[in-house]
Amino acid sequence: MRTLIESLAVLFGRTPRQPAPESISDAARAIHEQRMERRTHEETERIKGLHSAQARKLKRWRLRRWATLILVNLLFIVSYKLDIQMLEGALTASRFVGFHMADLNAALQVMLAYKQVLINLLIGIVTILLIWWTLGGRTFCSWICPYHLVSEWAEIIHMYLRKRNIVREHTFSRATRTWLWLIFAALAFVTGYTVFETISPTGILSRALTYGPGLALLWVGFLLLIEIFYSRRAWCRYVCPIGLTYGLVGSTSPFRVQHDLKKCHHDGICRAVCLVPHTLEATKRGRSSKVKTYLGADCTRCGKCIDVCPTGALQYKFKGLGKSK
């Protein structure tokens, strides 16, 4: 329970807290103490070697994830263009072989604006809720959302420019997203219009893919420019209410990324590639309360950390499935 509250607090924007000394398990404490010792030169070199070997390896999860993301969005396109009717609609609401599905945030906005619970929408909400609760909540973000993909490409450019000192990183308060979530919900209720949808790059891109491009894409382009030249992954990190909604769904999901303290070198390579590094607090030296912990609600289950970790300290896990101790 305490972990859940901490995970939600961090999701809403609070900085992760160091675990209280008494909450750290004996086994974890033992490892922490051992890690406080200085690394020998050979050990440092060995770990360096591991990292550079890992960096050269194929990013397996990224490959799988991009393939899934592209396939799902392609399915939307061909369902309409070739009239195969598999996955109709857009990411705001759709039908998968006839079953209603509704994006939780879009559905929430509609119900707040319309002030009425709609039965078809409710079916769609429950379906999507079950799917994403099982699969991890923000899994939607990294495995389905088309904006996530283009934003990842923008991020590659951003990091390249940063390495060359051409651009400088600017951060925002992570609580901005929580405030925006509340404000957009309030705006929908007060104005009776789904105000957020106008600027949602997820909706805009999803519709553009199926129904053809439009001027609204300029807005998406503008967001990408901000992410390239001003602030890394700004939309997904500090703004997107869809992400926060799915974060809430994922907060109790059984599908997680698990951190194994025993295998961790605390080098922070995972945090450097992560969209939401505050979920990887346990990978910092002395910050893990147990030997095995799960990443928090804001984790998008994208697998980037798993791809870069040379020791397998980070792994996908279905809680309750297989042995986990």
Partner 1 sequence: MAENGKRSGSTVSTKSGQTSRRTFLRSVTLAGGLIGASLMGFIPVIKGWVKRLRPPGALVETDFLASCIKCGQCVQVCPVEAIHIADLDDGIGVGTPYIDPRAQACDFSCDGLQCVLACPTGALTHHIDYPHQAEMAMAKIVNPTLCLASRGEGVHGSARGRDFKGKLRYTEIDRWNPISVTEHPYDLDVCDLCVRQCPIEQRMTQCDEGNPPANDPNQCPPEHAIRLVETGESDGRKTFTPEILSGCVGCGVCQMICPAESSVFEMDVSTQGAVLGSRRGGHS
205 binding partner 1? (CB under 8 A):
no
214 binding partner 1? (CB under 8 A):
yes
Assess contact for 321 and 315: CB atoms under 8 A: no
225 binding partner 1? (CB under 8 A):
no
Greatest distance between any 2 Cα atoms in the chain: 66
Stretch that binds partner 1, among 156-164, 191-199, 276-284, 312-320 (CB under 8 A): 191-199
Pairing of strands 87-90, 314-318: unpaired
* Shortest Å distance, C-beta 184 to partner 1: 7
* Shortest Å distance, C-beta 198 to partner 1: 3
* Shortest Å distance, C-beta 150 to partner 1: 18
Cα–Cα distance, 144 to 76 (Å, whole number): 11
Q: What ranges in the chain are assigned the alpha helix state H?
A: 2-12, 26-36, 41-56, 60-81, 104-114, 119-135, 139-143, 146-163, 175-191, 201-211, 216-229, 234, 241-250, 269-273, 304-308
195 binding partner 1? (CB under 8 A):
yes
Question: Which listed residue (92, 142, 251, 253) binds partner 1 by CB under 8 A?
Answer: 92
15 binding partner 1? (CB under 8 A):
no
For residues 60 to 79, the per-residue mask of contacts with partner 1, x marking binding by CB under 8 A and - elsewhere, is: -------------------x
* Shortest Å distance, C-beta 190 to partner 1: 11
Whole-Å CA distances, 17 to 21, 26, 174, 242: 12, 19, 15, 25
Is the sign of the CA dihedral 137, 143, 145, 150 positive or negative? Answer: positive
* Shortest Å distance, C-beta 304 to partner 1: 24
Question: Which listed residue (10, 11, 102, 104) binds partner 1 by CB under 8 A?
Answer: 102
275 binding partner 1? (CB under 8 A):
no
Chain contacts with partner 1 (rule: CB under 8 A):
79-80, 88-90, 92-95, 100, 102-103, 106-107, 110, 113-116, 118, 120-121, 124, 170-173, 175-176, 179-180, 183-184, 187, 191-199, 203-204, 207, 210-211, 214-216, 218-219, 234, 238-239
